Amino acid sequence: MTSKGGAAPSTYTPAPPPTYKAQRPPFFTDSDADWTRSDGRGFHQCRSAFFRTGAVNSAAGSAYAEFGNTKVIVSVFGPRESKKAMMYSDKGRLNCNVSYTTFATTVHGQGSDNKEFSTMLHKALEGAVMLETFPKTTVDVFALVLESGGSDLPVVISCASLALADAGIMMYDLVAGVSVSCLGRNLIIDPILEEESFQDGSLMITCMPSHYEVTQLTITGEWSTANLNEAMQLCLDACSKLAKIMRSCLEEAASASKD
Amino acid sequence: MRGIEISLNQTQKIRLQRALKQLESLYLRANFNASVTVADTIPVSNEDTILKGHGTSERDGEVVATLCGVVERVNKLVYVRTLRARYKPEIGDIIVGRVVEVAQKRWKLEINFSQDAVLMLSSMNLPDGIQRRRTALDELNMRSIFEENDVVCGEVRNFQNDGGIQLQARSQKYGKLEKGQLLTIPPYLVKRQKHHFHHLEHYGVDLILGCNGFIWVGELVEARDCIEEDQLNNTEQQFTKSNTTKEMPLETRRSICQIANAIRVLSILGFNVTLEVILETIDLSRTLNLGIDEMLGPEFHVLVAEREAERRTSMTKRKG
Amino acid sequence: MEFVNPEGLRLDGRRPMEMRQLRAQIGAVAKADGSAVFEMGNTKVIAAVYGPREVQNRSQQINDQALVRCEYSMANFSTGDRRRKPKGDRRSTEISLVIRQTMEECILTNLMPRSQIDIYVQVLQADGGTRSACINAATLALADAGIPMRDLVTSCSAGFLNSTPLLDLNYVEDSAGGPDVTVGILPKVDKVTLLQMDAKLPIDTFENVMQLAVEGCKAIANYIREVLLENTKQLEYRRGL
Amino acid sequence: MVGLSLGEKHFIQGGIDQNLRSDGRKRDAYRPISIETGVIPQANGSARIRIGATEVIASVKAELGRPNALQPDKGKVAIFVDCSPVAEPMFEGRGGEELSTELSVALQRCLMGGKSGAGAGIDLSSLIVAEGKICWDLYIDGLVISSDGNLLDALGAAIKAALSNTGIPRVQVAAGASGDEQPEVDISDEEFLQFDTSGVPVIVTLTKVGRHYIVDATSEEESQMSSAVSVSISRKGHICGLSKRGSAGLDPSVISDMISVARHISEQLINKLDSEISAAEADEDEM
């Protein structure tokens, strides 16, 4: 295992190959099978999820999500008329934006390296939203990460689908997102920030659980087939559980408004 | 120089060079070399008696080319025949175009010209085939005839005074083209001929060589009339369904792809694209037993060039 | 700094009145109506022309002539030290304008009313004289697209360093801070269409330097003419009868 | 981007169903690939690759810089892609920005591995000159010159070729600099170290049209896709990154199947690219 990534190529070695063992984070070594996660969770255990809809009054729909330290708020506006400059389209448009508060991370302004999150959010949602139900109009989805505590993007995606549901936008299904990190030989689900920064690879799945369809999948790092299949299965299971929680949150909100 | 953008190995390069050299010498033997570039003076014997045509202008009493091409003289007329350029329409040309806009009483078509061409609803035979005034209802139903992105075949009718052109499609042979692919090649490779429609029954393929360099290769449509009648009887939905479910026979598709690739090869090499040459190219690939996609490989390009050199040599011999 | 050594040679071994090696290739972008790659020494530019075609933005349509547009862009790797520049900075806007005006002047726009011609130039390597290289590339691309022109515009630059007029400055010479005269001419008509200079120069010296640049333009014009003629011949004989 | 009529769409889809695409290829066949290296002499390494009518240039520039405080033992690599309007008038102005960012991010994901550097195509620790003080910053730039589909795979292959064309100058660090002082360096302009590219993965994009998936889709075929999965695969057959495009959802079992197909195809592609790259290098040496 030590050879992974650590082996310097024989042809180009301007510096002596660094010893990887010493560089490993103190809380984790490859051989350490008894390692426990810093928040005491099992490897395959997610953080407890908290969802609440209707967090922003002025928005057509909104949701707040809290996974451990990761706190996200998403508001949805529209559907409203698309800008004139846009070409005619018989389908609706989805405009997504993910931003970080200045205090979201410990290092000021570090959240800005997540520029691609907006496009990723868009890709994860567009397959679930019935765009043909609001032609010529745009739905804006604005996500704000209040505190970044790891697995930000999957939380944003789940929260955004809840906000869309709250806004009454027609969807095929809710979208739930879960990520898995690979640290050495271990697969850990729903990683926190600290774990993410030392991960060897990560895999994120967003899916529509009742359709059993994956809307977005990204993988980084090196994966063997067995690991990959295990990680995908873990994510999919977690997604369906997460979707249940999201569903119950919506039901609660609906019954509350009835009263 | 315009390189031929294919990667060749050393021997292929030499063989291609040799074939091209042969073509060059054949050409030079047959023609007085009259190539000009922009701003070259075109020699004329008598200033007053000539007519300056396309691609020429007068400066300080000299006739000067404004284009790269070949000087052509027809009686008093002197003009420059361009090679690579956008399509230059002539009335009566058969062209293939793509609908870009459905406007009031007209369609606008992209035909590789400096402006979109106009096809008026009134220069179109109605699907029912009856000659009558166009009603408001016909106007509303224009999209059921052609909609955006449809590939349409027509004929150049006349020039408008703003420089645009009008098309007409007043015959059963014109109209929407379906089940096939559209290729675009430089228009100078398509020669104006008696026939631009080729119904290759042997292959089950319709080939339309549009003068504007748009070439349609599609499944053979037997008699357009009855199909159009069918369309009328069916609702639109059924029509699209029947279109998808009826799968094209594999043999026809093979022929379409083969013809398309032959045209691609000829266009890359810069050879005239005529039915005769296309069919010969296909025969060559069939005798060599090449896979259809191998036709786009470097070796086949070289072979086609060599064969073309041979063909033209034998042609000049026959003439001579 | 010594730009011309006592033997009369420049930093890259050229004589003061020597141009860098020219190379041109027509037809680099399959999809474009016309395209060309033009190299002057290490400066390498690719130009593509789209059109004349239907005007994309109706409000820009001109009823009696063609609309000519131009965009100049530099690849991130084109300069010696890599910089990531935002698109549409002042310099590229200015060069786009210069190229557009120069090309528009020589295109017979009145022959293609209500249409649009787009010229895109992309700098792959910049080693001085990009402006000139872009104009030369654009000329080739326009000719390849079969767009009627009054003349073949060509451009070349010249400078004045160590009291010597130098033809076709490279990057090091260009950044020395001396005067840099970029000239564009219509060689057949023998007219100047573009003249740009920064820094100062006595008038009589300026005339010398400018004359040198004009000579450079003429040499380039000859080269371009030959390339185009050879290209036309090739197209014609390959096409056959 | 590409407007197609209903008839043409059906023709393309039908061809994919019958395993005979519009240009005669089978579903798993590539268009002819050609590579040229050293096209940008000013860069440390560069390559141009042409796949059918798609053409891209990749360049690698190395500059000395300071390592990141959090990772003192590693160099830095940045990947940027630009879409030139030369390729497509649509890319004019800011028109190409969205695609450029998407491609840059996808390449980053496919080539740079996980946060710890595992699975990276480029070994960042090999870029260090003096730990914590000096390292090489590699700037990898891609430029799209002509676009006819399958840009990501082409860019990935171009970067692989450019990296194998890259020579990094040997650097001597003057001994004796202590503490926070920045040590003196001597950059050799004669001795270059070849970059090790055996670990650089290739990217295989499978485009799903109808029930089937195809490799090396042209832009016409891409316009008909329901979704596409780009997988980057190392020589060892490990997955080094994956991204999905297109709006339609996919069944997880389909994804697994696509990954295994991509892995199978990658073996042929790696061999093809290797031979093309070495041929290109040989050509360049001759000149």
Instruction: Summarize chain D as % helix, strand, coil (round to 5).
Output: 30, 30, 35
Query: Which of A15, A196, A221 has its CB closest to that of D129?
Result: A15
CA distance B265 to B282: 11
Class of domain B32-82: mainly beta
Using pLDDT thresholds of 50, 70 and 90, give the confidence band for residue D220. Answer: very high
D249 touching chain A per CB within 8 A: yes
Q: Per residue in B219-231, pLDDT tens?
A: 988 655 444 444 4
* pLDDT of A109 higher than 70: no
Please say if the pLDDT value at position A158 is more than 50: yes
Q: Which of C33, C147, C238 sits opposite B271 (nearest CB)?
A: C238
Q: Which residue on chain B is closest to C187 by alpha carbon?
A: B39
**C and D adjacent (3 or more CB pairs under 8 angstroms):** yes
- What is the pLDDT, as a whole number, of residue C85? 67
The confidence score (pLDDT) of residue D191 equals 78
pLDDT above 90 covers what percent of chain D? Answer: 52
Mean pLDDT of B84-104: 93
Q: Which of these, C212, C207, C203, lies nearest to C166 by C-alpha position?
A: C212
Q: Does any domain span residue C15?
A: no
pLDDT tier at B265, thresholds 50, 70, 90: very high
> What integer pLDDT is reported at residue A7 of this predicted model?
41
CATH topology of domain B84-177: OB fold (Dihydrolipoamide Acetyltransferase, E2P) (2.40.50)
Give how far Cα D115 sits from Cα of A151, A189, B141, C199, D273, Å.
14, 16, 59, 51, 28
Mean pLDDT for the stretch of residues D80-105: 90
Q: pLDDT digit string (tens) for C105-154? A: 999 999 999 999 999 999 999 999 999 999 999 999 999 999 999 999 99
Nearest residue in D to C127, CA atom? D42
- Find the mean pLDDT for residues D209-222: 93
Instruction: Answer for the pair D114, D71: CB distance below 8 angstroms, yes or no.
Output: no
User: Mind listing the pLDDT tens digit for each residue in C223-232?
Assistant: 999 999 999 9
Which of D197, D194, D135, D190 lies closest to D166 in space, CA to CA? Answer: D194
Asked whether residue B234 carries a pLDDT value surpassing 50, the answer given is: no
Decide if pLDDT at B242 tops 60. no
Please report the pLDDT score of residue B243 as a whole number.
47
Q: Is the pLDDT of residue A21 over 70?
A: no
**For C121-131, what is each residue's pLDDT tens digit?**
999 999 999 99
> A119-133, A154-168, B244-258, C74-88 — which is least confidently predicted?
C74-88
Distance from CA of C146 to the nearest CA of D (A): 18
Highest mean pLDDT among A250-259, B57-66, D13-22: D13-22
Average pLDDT over residues C11-31: 92
Q: What is the mean pLDDT of chain B?
A: 86
Instruction: Look at residue D178 in the predicted model and tell me its pLDDT.
Output: 60
Identify which of C25, C148, C235 has the shortest CB distance to residue B55: C148
CA-to-CA separations, C11 to B105, C17, C209, in angstroms, rounded: 68, 13, 19
Residue B18 has pLDDT above 50, yes or no: yes
Q: Using an 8 Å CB-CB cutoff, list chain A residues near D250.
A: 213-214, 217
Residue B308 clears pLDDT 50, i.e. is over it: yes
Distance CA B274, CA B257 (A): 17
Q: Which pLDDT value is given to residue A20? A: 40
Quote the pLDDT of residue B19. Answer: 92
- Stretch among A105-114, A230-239, B129-138, B266-275 having the lowest mean pLDDT: A105-114
Between chain B and chain D, how many beta carbons pairs sit less than 8 Å apart? 88
| pLDDT tens per residue, range D202-211 | 999 999 998 8
Q: Are D24 and B218 within 8 A, CB to CB?
A: no
**Domain count within chain C:** 1
pLDDT band at D113 (very low <50, low <70, confident <90, very high): confident
Domain annotation covers residue C9: no
Query: CB B151 to CB D8 under 8 A?
Result: yes
Fold of A48-258: Ribosomal Protein S5; domain 2 (3.30.230)
Decide: pTM greater than 0.80.
yes
- C228 domain-assigned: yes
Contact B163 C225 (CB under 8 A): no
Residues of B in contact with D25 (CB under 8 A): 292-293
Q: Is C10 contained in some domain?
A: no
List of chain D residues whose C-beta atoms are within 8 Å of the C-beta of residue C49: none
Q: Which of A183, A219, A232 to mutate to test the interface with D (most CBs of D within 10 A)?
A: A219
Domain that holds residue C158: 22-239
D146 vs C contacts (CB less than 8 Å): 28-31
Q: Kindly determine whether residue D251 and residue A213, on different chains, have CB atoms separated by under 8 Å.
A: yes
Q: Calculate mean pLDDT across residues B203-229.
A: 80
Q: Closest by alpha carbon to C49, among C74, C75, C31, C66?
A: C31
Q: What CATH code is carried by the domain that includes residue C98?
A: 3.30.230.70
Per-residue pLDDT band at A3 (split at 50, 70, 90):
very low
> Of A230-234, C165-169, D186-190, where does mean pLDDT reach its minimum?
D186-190
What pLDDT is recorded for position B117?
A: 94
For the segment C33-41, the average pLDDT, to the nearest whole number, is: 95
The pLDDT-based confidence of D95 (bands split at 50, 70, 90) is confident
| Between B75 and B99, residue with greater pLDDT | B99
> pLDDT (tens digit, 9 = 90+) per residue, C189-224?
899 999 999 888 899 999 999 999 999 999 999 999
Q: Rounded CA gap, A130 and A79, in Å?
A: 12
Residue burial B122-133, b: 16+ Cβ < 10 Å; e: rest: ebbbbeeeeeee
| Position C212 in a domain | yes
Average pLDDT, chain C: 92
Q: Is the pLDDT of residue C159 over 60?
A: yes
- Of C27, C114, C147, Cβ closest to residue B3: C27
Q: Which of A226-230, A240-244, B111-115, C95-99 comes out lowest in average pLDDT?
A: A226-230
Strand order in the sheet with B69-74: B35-36, B69-74, B77-82, B51-52
Cβ B262 vs Cβ B282: under 8 Å: yes
C-beta separation of A46 from A53 below 8 A: no
Best of B57, B68, B162 to mutate (most C CBs within 10 Å, chain C): B68
pLDDT tens across B20-70, in order?
999 888 887 766 678 899 999 988 877 677 888 999 998 888 899 999 999
Is the pLDDT score of A24 beyond 80? Answer: no
Mean pLDDT of A139-158: 92
B32-82 and B84-177: identical CATH topology: yes
Quote the pLDDT of residue B287: 94
Q: Which residues of C touch B100 (CB under 8 A)?
A: 54
How does residue D192 score in pLDDT terms, banded at 50, 70 and 90?
confident
Work out the average pLDDT over C28-52. 93
Domains of chain D: 6-286 (3.30.230.70)
Q: What's the rounded mean pLDDT across residues B74-84?
A: 90
Position A80 scores a pLDDT of 85
Strands (E), A82-167: 93-100, 137-147
Measure CA of the first residue to CA of the last residue in chain D; give whole Å.
40
Q: How far is D23 from chain A (nearest CA, A)?
A: 30
pLDDT at B225: 46
Give me the pLDDT at residue D32, please: 92
pLDDT band at B232 (very low <50, low <70, confident <90, very high): very low
> What pLDDT is attached to residue B172?
80
Mean model confidence pLDDT for chain A = 81
Chain D's closest residue to B240, CA to CA, is: D6
Distance of alpha carbon A250 from alpha carbon C55, whole angstroms: 51
Strands B77-82 and B51-52: parallel
Tell me the pLDDT tens digit for each residue of A36-71: 788 888 888 888 889 999 888 899 999 999 998 899
For the stretch A200-212, pLDDT in tens is 888 999 999 988 8
Q: Is pLDDT at C53 greater than 90 in this prediction?
A: yes
Within 10 A of B3 (CB to CB), how many other CB atoms are there? 10
The answer to whether the beta carbons of residues D129 and D135 sit under 8 Å apart is: yes
Checking DSSP bridges between strand C34-40 and strand C22-26, what pairing results, if any?
antiparallel
Interface test with B, best of C29, C35, C49, C54 (most B CBs within 10 A): C54
Which tokens in the block code for residue D70? 């959090």
Whether chains D and B touch (3+ CB pairs under 8 A) is answered by: yes
* pLDDT of amino acid A8: 38
Touching chains, A (3+ CB pairs < 8 A) = D
Average pLDDT, chain D: 88
So what's the pLDDT on residue A106?
Answer: 75
pLDDT above 50 (res B86): yes
For residues D22-49, average pLDDT: 92
pLDDT, tens digit (0-9, with 9 covering 90-100), for D115-127: 666 667 788 888 8
The pLDDT value recorded for residue B244 is 46
What is the domain partition of chain B in residue ranges? 1-31+179-320, 32-82, 84-177
